[in-house]
């Protein structure tokens, strides 16, 4: 059985987890087994809806202390559930919680782990998973040699696909170990879409000259319903908040659309965005290296092009 | 306070990646090796900052790798740290590497174990969580701020769309990222001192690899950029809607 760990936040299931469910369902079909889901904690989301991504059952440990990520505790619960349910493959989204949990679960189940998977495994001859390496500059095929296998999939690599199962929700109960960490404060950026969950991203670099010029970028992002990002020097100079910094040393994203405005396209910047499906580059320098990595390019002054693009989007509605 | 800092070696961030031997090995020709940026800038420097405040702090560095990692570990010693341990094993299997680090950690009875958030070559982001699981310790990932209050660590970590503060009793394993500390460059005194700091080499504990890299592959080249005239944004909108189908 393929067991998919489903994450939730802000009263909804994360889209990266729905994608993991679709991936798990496709893998289960390939292996001729069922795909089931595991949810920890409490959420008002309708769990039987996971059938729409191919789950036949949803196992639910409805204990609200599990809503908070305590890696030691939550990984123990996941590993015990997987053992009770006889899961042979576990799927996680390679998001913040998945990155923390999957390796700990792998240790507990003595399972081989591949994180950052970018496509479905090849299973005719062994079990081989392709993952991104060198910050998106290459792929590696990795063979998992253990009886139980764990895969953490890159966000936006597979997509969310519709199925028409109705999943049965089955409560599970455990003796939950006592917490190992105490959460004392949560600070969320209000009203903004988290960058890692966004499918459209508009990003600005030093070419915008100063924080006072960000209005044109924000207008475009608003028109598109996109999240905003920036290059490292921009966040280093405090023109934009640090959580917007994408790249090798910032966060890595893979949206459907990345629009880069006044960013030169240094290799360290590309390492954070090169898995984007479509890249649009707006830069006044035709020699800017970013054009080599772009699908669409506009050679021009951002201060003219960006407002024109926003206006064109408005007109097209 | 005893801190263990995990140090790994990676190709320089600007390295051009290519493969040899039927795409089974990284082509090391012309590659400059560096300390993995997260290990250097954030976890090691944060440990050094702590030692500067509390000189009784002992910092050990650990690396799992062949003799070729020694220049990197010397550079890390030049930044700071008292001693280094190299476990003489080359492996790309996270569990194998984590098992070696856990064995070193168990021997040294450390209060704190720092790793980077991920290596920029294999991008596994796994070692810290695995070390914590092997040692049955609490684990905090993606830390961007760290302070100590007696025997408790107060750690801010990234969550989706924000930050969260956690309190945890030592010992704990922490994966470090931007925000933990400011990047430094080693000075002459540090470089001289590093030459005589102890670098212990020890043989690995027995451990079966759970995964194995079979082959590498470069991504298909981009089709080439389609240029749109700056005064024709209607066309760009059309392309994004009808061709790329992303909006
Ligand atoms: C180890 C290491 C790690 C790094 N990690 C990261 C990282 O994670 N993320 C990151 O972003 N960088 C990172 N960097 C820095 C990176 O090398 C570049 O310096 C940085 O990305 C450049 O930012 P930029 O493109 O905004 O600025 P610049 O390189 O200064 O580019 C500005 C661009 O704007 C264009 N421009 C200027 N005026 C206009 C205008 N009016 N209209 C349109 N275009 C205009 C220019 O032609 C130019 O191409 C790292 C560097 C190192 C050494
Ligand atoms: N071979 C190694 N030796 C010592 N530490 C390592 C090694 N590989 C990874 N690490 C540590 O684990 C972190 C995460 O690495 P990874 O899980 O491989 O992405 C790195 O930032 C290092 O701090």
Q: Is residue A180 part of a domain?
A: no
Residue B245 within any structural domain of the chain: no
Check residue A60 and give its pLDDT.
98
Domain-located, residue B234 = no
A144 in the same domain as A92: yes
Same domain flag for A18 and A153 = yes
Q: What is the DSSP letter of A122?
A: B
Whether A248 sits inside 8 A of B120 (CB atoms) is: yes
Average pLDDT taken over every residue of chain A: 96
pLDDT band at A317, cuts 50/70/90?
Answer: confident
Judged on CB neighbours under 10 Å (0-12, 13-18, 19+), A63 is: middle
Query: From the CA of A135, how far away is ligand 2's center (Å)?
Result: 15
Residue nearest to atom 27 of ligand 1 (CA): A206
Does some domain include residue A58?
yes
Cβ distance B138 to B127 under 8 Å?
no
Closest ligand by atom to A291 CA:
1
In this complex, which of A135, A143, A277 lies closest to B211 when CB atoms are compared? A143
Same domain, A72 and A209: no
The answer as to whether B225 is a domain residue is no
Please state, for a pLDDT cut of 90, what percent of chain A lies above it: 92
Q: Is the CB of A301 under 6 A from ligand 1?
A: yes
Verify that A111 and A224 share a domain, yes or no. Answer: no
- What would the pLDDT profile of A153-178 be if each residue is shown by its tens digit? 999 999 999 998 889 999 999 999 99
- pLDDT tens, position by position, A83-120: 999 999 999 999 999 999 999 999 999 999 999 999 99
- Alpha helices (H) along chain B: 37, 45-53, 70-79, 94-108, 127-135, 188-196, 233-238
B184-200 tens-digit pLDDT: 988 999 999 999 999 99
State mean pLDDT over A50-79. 97
| Confidence class for position A196, pLDDT limits 50, 70, 90 | confident
Residue A159 counted as domain residue: yes
The answer to whether residues A215 and A312 belong to one domain is yes
Q: Judge whether residue A192 has pLDDT over 80.
A: no
Q: What is the pLDDT of residue B44?
A: 98
What residues make up the domain containing B182? 2-216
Residues A250 and A104 in one domain: no
**Contact criterion met (CB < 8 Å) for A111 and B210:** yes
Q: How far is A1 from chain B (nearest CA, A)?
A: 20
Q: Is A187 contained in some domain?
A: no
Q: Kindly state whether residue A165 falls inside one of the protein's structural domains.
A: yes
Residues B81 and B32 sit within 8 Å (Cβ to Cβ): no
Residue A251 and residue A154: Cα distance in Å, rounded?
13
Q: Is residue A228 part of a domain?
A: yes
How far is B213 from chain A, CA to nearest CA, in Å?
A: 4
Taking 90 as the threshold, does the pLDDT of residue A189 lie above it? no
Same domain assignment for residues A30 and A123: yes
User: What local confidence, expressed as pLDDT, does residue A272 receive?
Assistant: 95
Among the bound ligands, the one closest to the CA of B89: 2
Beta strands in B78-180 (DSSP E): 83-87, 112-116, 139-149, 152-159, 162-169, 172-176
Measured between beta carbons, the chain A residues lying within 8 angstroms of B223 are: 295
The whole domain housing A146 covers: 2-171
Domain with B92 in it: what CATH number?
A: 3.40.50.620
> Percent of chain B scored above 70 by pLDDT?
100
Question: Could you tell me if A264 and A224 lie in one domain?
Answer: yes
Q: Is B159 helix (H, G, I), strand (E, B) or coil?
A: strand
Q: What is the pLDDT of residue B221?
A: 84
- Tell me whether 0.90 is exceeded by the ipTM: yes
Statement to judge: residues A167 and A214 lie in one domain: no
- Asked if the model's pLDDT at residue B161 lies above 90, the reply is no
How many domains does the structure of chain A reveal? 2
pLDDT in tens, B209-219: 999 999 999 99
* Ligand whose nearest atom lies closest to the CA of B4: 2
CB-CB neighbors (< 8 A) of A133 in chain B: 121-123, 216
Q: Supply the pTM of this predicted model.
A: 0.96
Return the CATH number at A247. 3.40.50.1220
Number of domain units in chain B: 1
A268 lines ligand 1 (CB under 6 A): yes
| Cα atoms in the Cβ-side hemisphere of radius 13 Å centred on A17 | 25
CATH of the domain at A49: 3.40.50.620
Chain A's closest residue to B125, CA to CA, is: A99
The reply to whether A148 and A202 lie within a common domain is no
Quote the distance between the C-alpha of residue B222 and its chain's center.
30
Is the pLDDT assigned to residue A193 strictly greater than 80? no
Q: pLDDT grade, residue A268 (50/70/90)? A: very high
Q: Is B65 in the pocket of ligand 2 (CB under 6 A)?
A: yes
Which structure tokens are listed for A4? Answer: 């998919």
Domain-located, residue B232: no
Domain assignment present for residue B228? The answer is no
- Say if residue A191's pLDDT is above 80: no
pLDDT digits (tens, 9 = 90+) for A137-146: 999 999 999 9
Same domain? A16 vs A153: yes
Angle at A134 between CA A128 and CA A139, to 5 degrees: 30
In a domain, A177, yes or no: no
* Domain end residue (candidates: A171, A204, A228): A171
- A with B: how many residue pairs have Cβ under 8 Å apart? 270
Within a domain: residue A116?
yes
B119 lines ligand 2 (CB under 6 A): yes
| CB-CB neighbours of A223 under 10 Å | 17
Q: Which of A137, A171, A205 is the last residue of a domain?
A: A171
Domain assignment present for B138: yes
- Chain B residues with CB-CB distance to A299 below 8 A: 227, 230
* CA–CA dist B61, B110 (Å, integer): 11
Gap between the Cα atoms of B83 and B19, Å rounded: 34
Q: Tell me: do A127 and A250 sit in the same domain.
A: no
Give the tokens for residue B59.
């910092």
Give the number of residues written for chain A.
Answer: 317
* pLDDT tens by residue, B36-80: 999 999 999 999 999 999 999 999 999 999 999 999 999 999 999
What is the pLDDT averaged over residues B9-24? 95
């Amino acid at each position: 059985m393929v067991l998919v760990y489903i994450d939730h936040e802000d009263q909804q299931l994360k889209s990266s987890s729905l994608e993991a469910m679709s991936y798990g369902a496709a893998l289960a079909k390939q292996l001729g087994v069922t795909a089931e889901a595991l949810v920890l904690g409490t959420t008002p989301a309708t769990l039987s809806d996971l059938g729409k991504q191919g789950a036949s059952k949803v196992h639910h440990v409805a204990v609200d202390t599990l809503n908070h990520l305590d890696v030691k505790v939550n990984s123990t619960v996941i590993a015990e559930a997987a053992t009770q349910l006889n899961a042979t493959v576990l799927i996680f989204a390679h998001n913040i919680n998945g990155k923390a949990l999957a390796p700990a679960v792998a240790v507990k189940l003595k399972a081989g782990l591949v994180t950052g998977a970018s496509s479905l495994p090849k299973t005719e001859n062994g079990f081989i998973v392709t993952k991104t390496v060198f910050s998106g500059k290459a792929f590696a095929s990795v063979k998992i040699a253990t009886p139980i296998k764990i895969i953490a999939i890159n966000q936006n690599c597979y997509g969310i696909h519709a199925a028409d199962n109705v999943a049965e929700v089955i409560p599970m109960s455990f003796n939950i170990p006592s917490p190992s960490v105490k959460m004392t404060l949560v600070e969320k950026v209000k009203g903004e879409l988290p960058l890692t969950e966004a499918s459209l991203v508009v990003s600005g670099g030093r070419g915008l000259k100063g924080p006072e010029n960000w209005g044109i970028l924000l207008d475009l992002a608003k028109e598109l319903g996109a999240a905003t990002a920036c290059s490292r020097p921009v966040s280093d100079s405090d023109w934009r908040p640090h959580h917007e910094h994408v790249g090798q040393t910032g966060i890595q994203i893979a949206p459907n659309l990345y629009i880069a405005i006044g960013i030169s396209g240094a290799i360290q910047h590309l390492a954070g965005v090169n898995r984007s499906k479509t890249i649009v580059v707006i830069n006044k320098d035709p020699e800017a290296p970013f054009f080599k990595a772009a699908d669409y390019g506009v050679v021009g002054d951002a201060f003219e092009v960006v407002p024109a693009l926003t206006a064109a989007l408005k007109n097209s509605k | 306070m005893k801190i263990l800092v995990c140090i790994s070696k990676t190709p320089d961030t600007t390295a051009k990646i290519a493969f040899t031997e039927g795409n089974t090995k990284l082509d090391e020709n012309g590659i400059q090796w560096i300390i993995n940026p997260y290990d250097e800038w954030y976890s090691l420097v944060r440990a050094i900052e702590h030692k500067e405040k509390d000189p009784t702090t002992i910092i050990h560095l650990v690396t799992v790798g062949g003799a070729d990692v020694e220049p990197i570990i010397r550079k890390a010693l030049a930044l700071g740290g008292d001693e280094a341990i190299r476990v003489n094993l080359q492996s790309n299997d996270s569990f194998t590497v984590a098992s070696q680090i856990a064995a070193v950690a168990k021997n040294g009875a450390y209060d704190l174990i720092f790793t980077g958030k991920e290596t920029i070559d294999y991008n596994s982001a796994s070692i810290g969580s695995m070390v914590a699981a092997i040692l049955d310790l609490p684990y905090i990932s993606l830390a961007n701020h760290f302070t100590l209050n007696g025997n408790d660590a107060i750690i801010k970590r990234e969550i989706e769309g924000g930050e969260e503060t956690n309190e945890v009793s030592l010992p704990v394993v922490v994966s470090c990222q931007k925000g933990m500390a400011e990047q430094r460059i080693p000075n002459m005194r540090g470089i001289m001192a590093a030459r005589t700091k102890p670098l212990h080499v020890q043989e690995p504990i027995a451990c079966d690899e759970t995964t194995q890299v079979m082959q590498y592959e470069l991504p298909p080249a981009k089709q080439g950029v389609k240029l749109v005239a700056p005064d024709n944004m209607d066309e760009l909108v059309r392309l994004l809607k009808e061709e790329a189908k992303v909006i």
